[in-house]
Amino acid sequence: MKKLINRPEHVVVQALAGLAAAHPDHLRVRTGPRYVVRADAPAPGKVGLVSGGGSGHEPMHGGFVGMGMLDAACPGEVFTSPTPIQILAATKAVDGGAGVLYIVKNYTGDILNFRMAAELAKAENIDVEAVVIDDDVAVRDSLYTAGRRGVGTTVLAEKICGAAAEQRRSLREVAEVGRAVNASGRSMGMALSSCTVPAAGQPTFDLGPADMEIGVGIHGEPGRERLVTAPARDVVLMLATPIVADLPFRAGDKVLAFVNGMGGTPLIELYIIYHELGRFLLERGIQVTRNLIGPYITSLDMQGCSITLLKLDDELTSLWDAPVNTPGLRWGA
């Protein structure tokens, strides 16, 4: 295992220490229980946004804590759900009296623990709603999931709900925005190599030197099929065709096109994928009006990419464009 780490059991805590040291203007990292929280939390009268999940997907979620995005993130160990106690502590820290919205990726452990935290928070008179992201069209039911997995749309939901919360919309309204994002977003990923979980020390799955996995999950869960590696154009066809068919996206639709790197794939390749995706969508009359390209929801050191399309209306576009100031996503602020 080749990684820039110290001991595997210290990966999460030391990466969080680095995050905290680097971004004191944005956030704090609390321990016992552990969560990342906006430096200026709670914001009175603002809905608090909390997300979280296993670590290994950086910059998601801790890197998205800051103005215009999350109020807190609850990091579990690598690929391990955060506990209800972590989530409850984060909830209390960000509650500014307007309630707290959870953005939860659809993994069984995350769903259970965020649900339990919501019950504990309600017992303390904090109003909580949850939005579940289940945008991965690759498979139905998977290693850690009943139904569809939550992947790239999570990043977009965190940004867009963050903007809605900054406008001081109500908890119900921000949750509604989050559900609209999930309803309008579809994703699919692929891997050229497996990730290696530090504590395991070995690749999560075996992939031959000429093979790729189409439809892979962000924890290396199996996808739709294992194929011989193919040109970028064919990879885009394999990912974007089921995405477009699923919603469906139609000629005339405006979309945000998000090309995500899995952690081990450099930007030069992601731009080639974006180039091919643009071509694919143009042929179908689908108009890309916004984009995001880079490693935003990663799977440790996995080589590969995912594509997310989000159907945009004026409302979602305007929330996307609103200022954001986090370590991982920053503009106009």
Tell me how far, at minimum, the Cβ of 333 lies from a second copy, in Å.
7
Q: Can you say whether the dihedral through the CA atoms of 298, 241, 308, 277 is positive or negative? A: positive
Task: Based on the residue annotation, tell me whether 26 is a catalytic residue of this protein.
Answer: no
Tell me how far, at minimum, the Cβ of 287 lies from a second copy, in Å.
12
Comparing CA positions, the residue from 264, 259, 136 lying closest to residue 203 is 264
In degrees rounded to 5, what are phi and psi of residue 116?
A: -65, -40
Q: What is the total residue count of the chain?
A: 333
In degrees rounded to 5, what are phi and psi of residue 153?
A: -60, -20
Query: Which of 45, 123, 125, 268 contacts a second copy by CB under 8 A?
Result: 268
Tell me how far, at minimum, the Cβ of 107 lies from a second copy, in Å.
18
Query: Which of 37, 47, 214, 273 contacts a second copy by CB under 8 A?
Result: 273
Residues 147-206 that bind a second copy (CB under 8 A): 192-193
**270: contact with a second copy by CB under 8 A:** yes
* Helix H or strand E segment including 287: strand 287-294
C-alpha gyration radius of the chain: 19
Tell me how far, at minimum, the Cβ of 238 lies from a second copy, in Å.
12
Task: Based on the residue annotation, tell me whether 61 is a catalytic residue of this protein.
Answer: no
Residue type, 13: V
Q: Quick one: 96 or 242, whose CB is closer to a second copy?
A: 242
Q: Quick one: 94 or 190, whose CB is closer to a second copy?
A: 190
Q: Quick one: 84 or 198, whose CB is closer to a second copy?
A: 198
Select which of 23, 26, 61, 219 is catalytic: 219
Tell me how far, at minimum, the Cβ of 127 lies from a second copy, in Å.
33
**260: contact with a second copy by CB under 8 A:** no
E strand map for 106-224: 128-133, 185-191, 211-214
Three-state DSSP at 198 gives: coil
Tokens of 191: 């891997």
Total residues at the site for a second copy (CB under 8 A)? 60
Note the Cα 29 to chain centre separation in Å. Answer: 19
**226: contact with a second copy by CB under 8 A:** no
Residues tagged active-site: 57, 219
